[in-house]
Amino acid sequence: MTQNSPPDDSADRTYHRRTMLTGAGSIALGGLIGSSGVTSATPGRDPGPKKDEIIVGIDPDADDVAAKARAAVPGDAEVVHSNETIRYAVVSFPSAASDHAREEFIEAITRSPAVEYAEPNVTVQSLLTPDDPYYDSQHAPQQIGCERAWETTRGSSDVVISVIDQGIQYDHPALESVVDDRIGEDFADDDGDPYPATDEDHGTHVGGIAAGGTDDGTGHAGISDCSLLSARALDETGQGSLSDIVDAIQWSADAGADIVNLSLGVDGSYETMRSACEYAADRGVLLVAAAGNSGTDRVFSPASEDTVVAVSALADDDSIASFSNTGPEIELAAPGNRLVSSVTGDGYARMSGTSMASPVVAGVAGLALSAYPDLTRSELRHHLRETAVDVGLGETEQGDGRVDAARAVETDPFGDGETGSGESGADSTSQCGDETVTASADGSLDGSGWWGESDRYDYALQTADPCSITVSLEGPSSGDFNLYVTTDGRSPGRWDHDEASTGSGTTESVTFALEGGEDLGLQVHAKSGSGEYTLRLEERGR
């Protein structure tokens, strides 16, 4: 295994043909991505990094993604791969060409009205810091309270965790009892078998942390006994192309995975990755990813995406691991130093890295979902954060704290009598208090394009003791405008408190309880149609 380091071209190298509308108030740039279709893989492509390729995002109205890409590509460049679901094509580009020639090539492509963006097919790397190949005893399950959690559940086989990595040795004695009957898919070699080669230990180690036969007299104990799917997208060096990772995310979502673990990353931000993560999140998948191992205050992608739970690594004394990346995107921390798990050849080893911390969180998510199967994706994410333990680190190091299996399983997320609605109803909040504060904003959006347009707002609570808030949206009669809200200040996405609205007199309203201290993030998104809208808030306090 190679130690992680940022790729040579680590900056955000996405080129956009269009910009997003900025609305009134404190608004961030943003947009939502829609996609349809199925993956079209190209046989015979080599596994691993694909540095001589460019990803081209295609308009959803195109009947044939590859054909539109060919029409947009100048010269003799070849379209070597396409994905109809995430709406992109991959174009080969001569490795000997200069950087200036590459930039001119991309600029020429993005002049086509069918092209939404173009970006390099960057190399994504496993986030592992290798350690001695032996084990004595485990500490991660004890550190996060698994023994107590296992008294309630060891994990249901109905809960599926997909591990996007080097592939899992699915006949390993410690894993064969929890591997899903479908086993998985191979995106690195394209041969249909996600079995790793000898010494490709990373995926088997990661999978064994998230799930592995517990109390079965064999090997180690995984965090859960949930079902494992193996999506092989990294080669023998622990590297893979952005397009292979994206295809694996889409496949995992379509295969019905509840949780996807991504113990890999790349420095920078890429539209194709964002699109794939949005696609999975919209289908109810909780994505969990490693923050990175460069020891810097910068969270790698995909962990940095709004749709993904970013995980930092802790030592066994709950201090931040020296190699762990940190940053404002961190949501949870987990043990990641010298964790014992399975490796290829029916063996076991200690490994360290945020690669190891991420599947700890994925495994705890599996336990929580096993205990409370009615949890939605956003509720599960919130529940993990609410039950995390503050270990005294800064928010950029631990987020909401160290994940805790016992608290996640023993704390009823529906203790207020709700049963997984995804949001609080108006009945429980309408009588909470007499103090009211109102606010409003107006804007205009066009939803006729693939991206549509979005306005994002921030709102700081104003009442002395906030107890509920109602957010209402009035859109144009001919449009489909959606409202998304978060209560922790995050930039919202389509999984957050959405009330869809379509048709004449488009209106929608969402009311939910507040516990005080929250700040709101709001997004108005034009899915179709265009015109002016009004956003209103009514905050109540005791």
DSSP 390: -
Residue of 112, 165, 225, 358 marked catalytic: 165
Are the C-beta atoms of residues 177 and 342 closer than 8 Å to each other?
A: no
Q: In sequence order, what are the beta bridge partners of 184? A: 230
Give CA–CA dist 298/313, Å, rounded.
14
Question: Tell me, what's the pLDDT at 182?
Answer: 93
> How is the chain split into domains, by residue range?
52-120, 125-410, 426-541
Instruction: Examine the residue annotation and report whether 61 is marked as an active-site residue of this protein.
Output: no
User: For tokens 């509840």, what's the residue?
Assistant: 258
C-alpha angle 256-452-41 in degrees, rounded to nearest 5 = 40
Assigned CATH class of 52-120:
alpha beta
Instruction: Examine the residue annotation and report whether 346 is marked as an active-site residue of this protein.
Output: no
CATH of domain 426-541: 2.60.120.380
Give CA–CA dist 20/7, Å, rounded.
28
Question: Tell me, what's the pLDDT at 24?
Answer: 26
Q: Which residues contact 310 (CB under 8 A, 6 or more apart)?
A: 289, 291, 299, 303, 304, 327, 329, 330, 331, 332, 399
Q: Going along 67-192, which residue ranges are E strands? A: 79-83, 88-92, 115-120, 123-126, 129-130, 160-165, 179-186
Instruction: Examine the residue annotation and report whether 202 is marked as an active-site residue of this protein.
Output: yes
The tokens for 472 are 């209402």
Distance of CA 112 to the CA centre of its chain: 30
Handedness of CA 222, 300, 316, 199 (dihedral sign): positive
Question: Tell me, what's the pLDDT at 313?
Answer: 96
Question: Tell me, what's the pLDDT at 114?
Answer: 86
Alpha helices in 256-353 (DSSP H): 271-282
Give CA–CA dist 152/507, Å, rounded.
44
For helices 354-371 and 377-386, what crossing angle results, to 10°?
110
pLDDT in tens, the chain (542 residues): 333 332 333 333 333 332 221 222 221 111 111 222 334 445 556 667 787 888 888 887 778 888 888 888 876 678 888 888 888 988 887 766 777 777 888 888 888 888 888 888 888 887 655 443 333 457 877 888 888 888 899 999 999 999 999 999 999 999 999 999 999 999 988 678 999 988 899 999 999 999 986 555 556 778 999 999 999 999 888 889 999 999 999 999 999 999 999 999 999 989 999 999 999 998 999 999 999 999 999 999 999 998 999 999 999 999 999 999 999 999 999 999 989 999 999 998 889 999 999 999 999 999 999 999 999 998 999 999 999 999 999 999 999 999 999 999 999 988 754 444 333 333 334 457 778 888 888 888 887 765 567 888 888 888 888 888 888 888 777 777 888 888 776 777 655 666 554 443 456 777 877 765 567 888 888 877 788 888 888 888 87
Hey, what's the torsion of the CAs at 149, 153, 155, 156, to 10 degrees? -160
φ, ψ of residue 363 in degrees (nearest 5): -65, -40
Question: Tell me, what's the pLDDT at 234?
Answer: 92
Distance of CA 187 to the CA centre of its chain: 19
Alpha helices in 394-542 (DSSP H): 395-398, 405-410
- Name the amino acid, one letter, at 471: V
Return the CATH number of 125-410, one of 1.10.8.60, 3.10.450.50, 3.40.50.200, 3.30.365.10.
3.40.50.200
Half-sphere exposure of 402 (CA within 13 A, CB side): 26
Residue of 82, 126, 180, 202 marked catalytic: 202
Give CA–CA dist 204/219, Å, rounded.
13
Are the C-beta atoms of residues 91 and 56 closer than 8 Å to each other?
A: yes
Comparing CA positions, the residue from 305, 329, 306, 325 lying closest to residue 314 is 325
Question: Tell me, what's the pLDDT at 517?
Answer: 59
Q: Checking DSSP bridges between strand 115-120 and strand 15-16, what pairing results, if any?
A: antiparallel
Question: Tell me, what's the pLDDT at 411?
Answer: 93
Coil, strand, or helix at residue 31?
Answer: coil
Question: Tell me, what's the pLDDT at 9?
Answer: 36
CA distances to 258, 349, 359 from 321, rounded to whole Å, are: 28, 19, 16
